[in-house]
Amino acid sequence: MRILLLSAVCLALCACSVVSPSLPSFPCDAAGPSSIETLICQTPELAELDKELDRVYAAAASGAEQADLLSAYQRGWVKGRNECWKSADPQGCTRESYRTRISELKAQYRLIPASARVDCLCGGAQETLSVSFFPSLIPTAVAHFRGQSSLMFQQPAASGSRYQGRNESLWEHQGEARLVWGYGAEPLNCVKVRR
């Protein structure tokens, strides 16, 4: 009986060490009782996303030319994430906030290789559009046009692929694309350049 009890205790201790709870990158004891940080500490999926973002952010910061600017954007992102407590679905809001930020940093700082690069000629002036696509948590595109760049995330589309940025959008279907570049701008038709 004593051996059986000792075996059960050893088995329980081994199981506890293998199945440890997921902890985020920040100390949970500092989180407020009804805060998004508490939700992250209590939700293994969110804790894992937090650790992933911590790794991705560290990689981005190590290669960033303007580390202070990246740090300021990250602080702003944290404030935005913490606003998820106002959402009807705080857990879903927080999950999407992490997925978006991780995807953004991976593409913007080229922490993962692009899955494809496409060059197009757009509008009557035949201006060059270059787009790199990244297979992150949310498929992401970085477009370069008229000396500017835009980070865009894939959106649901009935056919083809559609990406949306802050004031830019790109919809591609069968080698042709429609580009909107800037708030209220007219769409431009673009044709893929064959390499």
Question: What is the rounded distance in angstroms from the CA atom of residue 96 to the CA atom of residue 86?
Answer: 14
Average pLDDT rounded to a whole number, residues 52-69: 93
What is the predicted pLDDT for the residue at 23? 87
Number of neighbouring beta carbons within 10 Å of residue 58: 10
**195 pLDDT band (50/70/90 cuts)?**
low
Q: Do 96 and 153 belong to one domain?
A: no
Number of domains in the chain: 2
**37 pLDDT band (50/70/90 cuts)?**
very high
Q: Do 73 and 93 belong to one domain?
A: yes
Is the model's pLDDT at 88 over the cut of 50? yes
Q: Output the CA–CA distances (angstroms, integers) from residue 126 to 11, 66, 146, 158, in the order listed.
A: 70, 33, 11, 28
Q: Is 38 part of any domain?
A: yes
Q: Do 78 and 138 belong to one domain?
A: no
Q: Output the CA–CA distances (angstroms, integers) from residue 180 to 54, 108, 165, 177, 192, in the order listed.
A: 33, 20, 10, 10, 16
Is the model's pLDDT at 34 over the cut of 90? no
- Domain span including residue 159: 116-192
Q: Is 163 part of any domain?
A: yes
Q: Is 144 part of any domain?
A: yes
**Mean per-residue pLDDT of the chain:** 88
What CATH number did the domain enclosing 158 receive?
2.40.128.200
What is the predicted pLDDT for the residue at 85? 94
Please write the tens of the pLDDT for every residue from 91-127.
Answer: 999 999 999 999 999 999 999 999 999 999 999 889 9
Q: Do 77 and 45 belong to one domain?
A: yes
Where a domain ends, among 81, 108, 135? 108
Q: What percent of the chain has pLDDT over 70?
A: 89
Is the model's pLDDT at 7 over the cut of 90? no
Where a domain ends, among 78, 108, 138? 108
Question: Quick one: which H or E segment has residue 128?
Answer: strand 127-134
Is the model's pLDDT at 145 over the cut of 80? yes
Q: Is 1 part of any domain?
A: no
Q: Do 43 and 91 belong to one domain?
A: yes
**15 pLDDT band (50/70/90 cuts)?**
very low
C-beta of residue 151 within 8 angstroms of C-beta of residue 139: no
Residues 6+ positions from 59 with CB-CB distance below 8 Å: 109, 111
Question: What is the rounded distance in angstroms from the CA atom of residue 18 to the CA atom of residue 15?
Answer: 5
Question: What is the rounded distance in angstroms from the CA atom of residue 132 to the CA atom of residue 56?
Answer: 19
Q: Do 144 and 183 belong to one domain?
A: yes
Q: Do 96 and 152 belong to one domain?
A: no
Q: Do 96 and 120 belong to one domain?
A: no
Where a domain ends, among 82, 108, 134? 108
